Amino acid sequence: MSFQAYIDNIKAKTGKTPKDFLALANKKGFIKADGEITVKATEITNWLKSEFELGHGHAMAIFATFKGKKE
């Protein structure tokens, strides 16, 4: 599955884009306004899995967008 397919599947399942997840992560204090990630990847992926019922690969795809990977 391509990276874009992961992003498309996440949007279809949750209705949210990577930018939406970035804003939510910022509100939770996982990411500062300047883009600095303040927690380990595991904390973010666990949050995405539990709150949005994403699988590990899909949660990692969202995390990758936080690190700068483009859609």
pLDDT of residue 71: 58
pLDDT tens digits for range 10-41: 999 999 999 999 999 999 999 998 889 999 99
Q: Taking the domains of the chain in order of start, what are their residue ranges?
A: 3-66
| CA proximity to 17, closest of 55, 47, 52, 42 | 52
pLDDT at 47 over 90: yes
pLDDT of residue 27: 96
pTM of the model: 0.91
Cβ neighbour number for residue 39 with a 10 Å cutoff? 14
Out of 19-23, 32-36, 42-46, 67-71, pick the least confident.
67-71
